[in-house]
Amino acid sequence: MAKDSTPPRNENRSAPISEAFRAFIQTGWAQPAPVSARPWPVSRNAAGRRDEISGQFPGVTLIVPAGSPKQRSNDTDYPFRPHSAFTYLTGWGHSATPGSILIAIATATGHEWELVMRGPAPRTSDEFYANAAIGEFWTGRRPTLEDVGTWLALNTREREDFELPALTGPWAIIREADPVLTAECDAVRGFTSPPALDADVERVASEMRLIKDDYEVSELRAAIASTHAGFNDIVEVLPRSIGHARGERIVEGAFHSRARLEGNSVGYDSIVASGSHACILHWVTNDGPISPGDLLLVDAGVERDSLYTADITRTIPVSGTFTPHQREVYEAVLEAADVAFAMVKPGVSFHEIHDTAMAVIATRVSDWGFLPVSLTKSLKKTSQLHRRFMIHGTSHHLGLDVHDCAHARKERYLQGTLAAGMVFTIEPGLYFQPDDETVPAEWRGIGVRIEDNILVTATGAENLSAAIPRSVAAVEDWMAG
Ligand code: GLY
Ligand code: MN
Ligand code: MN
């Protein structure tokens, strides 16, 4: 197997190395200071998760890659982020060494887990100073196998010493984590199409994440607290964004700054949508002006170093108060969110949240006279005309990924039942496109979404983001400083 999946780099900028320079640069370095030699608390949670998945796949060797950096352009990469299944099963978040692989080797009694990774390039190697992908001159200090073994309470092995063909018996890989390694696995296994076992492992790793443990809930709470701080920053910079040709970027930058300060980054590209941009559901260009009288829709979340992310939307009136039309739309969306939240408790079906929110949306647009059919007819599965004004879903699971548990079966997700420990969004909206001739001119270009992050408790639910102003009065007070 390839020793790492780093794309080949151009040679046209590398200078020749003299023997004298090599001898000089490889010597004279102090011993690195020791790092913390205690296991991280999350290592216990991760060990429990490994036991659980091990129990589901007796006799099957499991390969969970962290993945490799993704090329952005030429010899620059996107910031590395390990695959969420890897982080879930190891507890290793933003600082994970690229190219690491968690492996469960099937034994007669269960699995032996080990983490395969590259340690730092030795200071006596050319890589130490000449390899931008792994040399500490370029990347800063990298943990040793011993450091990582202690933090994560896992056996570690040098990547160079690991060979896929040495594995025996059935084995499976989380395919999307590392396409290069997956292709090698398929070649070694002699597969030309993805085996069902790979999909099974991916599904189980996803479904396990449907119920969050206490550590995960506390990370999500912290992500939401940082996101709240980021939204406060937005309100603070808003006055100087008004009138600027790219005012949305000022707002995006303020939130991003908070995300980098308190977390790893943003958990997804922030949507900063002023005026009719709010009707573009995934408006991430964020290069428009912010004008007095507009509504500003911001959908943004801080991702922690643990990689848990918030996913919050607030829609605020740029001038500080809602116009009557804006307020009417806002209150309809808020009502949809509140009615949906009120029904959340264990045992309720996931899709009922959406149906409940949509019933409010449909009722309001019908009351306003925007439907060419009766409300009753629009609510029928065969009609659904009101969806013209809210085309997206109301909820998705939230955790390590903003759209978490992506490989869970429909029976466990959309057609599943709520259980204590689930965390998901409630995010109804109403969007009147600027060119929609079916609504009166004064409604066109208004877009509102309110998105909160909800924890299912033993008896009901907690809105984890309730402290970020939501009601008309609370938002207007917030804007008034
Ligand atoms: N920010 C993406 C979403 O709300 O699903
Ligand atoms: Mn969302
Ligand atoms: Mn969102």
88-128: per-residue pLDDT in tens? 999 999 999 999 999 999 999 999 999 999 999 999 999 99
Count of CB atoms within 10 A of residue 317's CB?
20
* Ligand 1 touching residue 404 (CB < 6 A): no
Sign for the pseudo-dihedral over CA of 303, 175, 143, 126: negative
Asked if residue 32 lies in contact with residue 144, where contact means CB atoms within 8 angstroms, the answer is no
| Environment of ion ligand 2 (residues, CB < 5 A) | 311, 425
Query: At residue 344, what is the residue type?
Result: V
Ligand 3 centroid–CA 427 distance in Å is 7
Please calculate the CA angle 136-142-146 and round it to the nearest 5 degrees: 135
| Cα gap 92→43, rounded to integer Å | 9
**Relative to the alpha carbon of 453, which ligand is closest?**
2
CA distances from 239 to 236, 270, 313, 481 (A): 7, 19, 20, 11
* Ligand 1 touching residue 198 (CB < 6 A): no
To test the pocket of ligand 1, the residue of 402, 404, 448 to mutate (highest count of ligand atoms within 8 Å of its CB) is: 402
pLDDT at residue 36 in the model? 78
| Nearest alpha-carbon partner for 414 in 333, 371, 351, 340 | 351
pLDDT at residue 1 in the model? 37
Ligand 3 centroid–CA 464 distance in Å is 14
| Cα gap 177→173, rounded to integer Å | 9
Ligand 1 centroid–CA 299 distance in Å is 7
Non-local (6+) Cβ contacts of 426 within 8 A are: 337, 340, 341, 344, 353, 357, 394, 395, 451, 452, 454
pLDDT at residue 3 in the model? 36
pLDDT at residue 10 in the model? 64
pLDDT at residue 2 in the model? 35
pLDDT at residue 33 in the model? 82
Closest atom of ligand 1 relative to the 427 alpha carbon: 4
To test the pocket of ligand 1, the residue of 231, 268, 354 to mutate (highest count of ligand atoms within 8 Å of its CB) is: 268
339-381 confidence digits (pLDDT tens): 999 999 999 999 999 999 999 999 999 999 999 999 999 999 9
| Cα gap 78→222, rounded to integer Å | 25
Count of CB atoms within 10 A of residue 308's CB?
32
CA distances from 27 to 6, 12, 127, 331 (A): 27, 27, 14, 68
Closest atom of ligand 1 relative to the 301 alpha carbon: 1
To test the pocket of ligand 1, the residue of 252, 390, 396, 401 to mutate (highest count of ligand atoms within 8 Å of its CB) is: 396
User: Which run of H or E residues covers position 85?
Assistant: helix 84-90
Q: Delineate the domains of the chain, giving CATH numbers in brackets.
A: 11-208 (3.40.350.10), 214-480 (3.90.230.10)
Q: What is the mean pLDDT of each run of 10 residues along the chain (481 residues)?
A: 45 82 93 86 98 97 96 94 98 97 95 96 91 88 94 96 81 95 90 89 98 98 99 98 97 98 98 98 98 98 98 98 97 98 98 98 98 98 98 98 98 98 98 98 97 98 98 98 88
Give the predicted TM-score (pTM) of the model.
0.96
Asked if residue 339 lies in contact with residue 360, where contact means CB atoms within 8 angstroms, the answer is yes
137 by Cβ neighbours in 10 Å (0-12 / 13-18 / 19+) ranks as middle
Ligand 2 centroid–CA 64 distance in Å is 27
CA distances from 88 to 31, 97, 129, 212 (A): 33, 15, 33, 11
* Ligand 1 touching residue 311 (CB < 6 A): yes
Q: Both tokens of residue 437?
A: 């001739």
| Cα gap 57→170, rounded to integer Å | 10
Closest atom of ligand 1 relative to the 299 alpha carbon: 1
Ligand 1 centroid–CA 313 distance in Å is 8
* Ligand 1 touching residue 338 (CB < 6 A): no
Closest atom of ligand 1 relative to the 268 alpha carbon: 1
Determine which residue's CA is closest to atom 4 belonging to ligand 1: 311
User: Which run of H or E residues covers position 321?
Assistant: none
Ligand 2 centroid–CA 80 distance in Å is 23
Ligand 1 centroid–CA 312 distance in Å is 8
Closest atom of ligand 1 relative to the 300 alpha carbon: 1
**Relative to the alpha carbon of 312, which ligand is closest?**
3
Where do the DSSP E strands lie in 80-219? 101-106, 111-117, 155-158, 171-173
* Ligand 1 touching residue 427 (CB < 6 A): yes
pLDDT at residue 9 in the model? 56
Helix/strand/coil percent split, the chain, to 5: 40, 15, 45
Determine which residue's CA is closest to atom 3 belonging to ligand 1: 311
Q: Both tokens of residue 4?
A: 């790492």
Non-local (6+) Cβ contacts of 30 within 8 A are: none
| Cα gap 316→324, rounded to integer Å | 14
| Cα gap 244→306, rounded to integer Å | 36
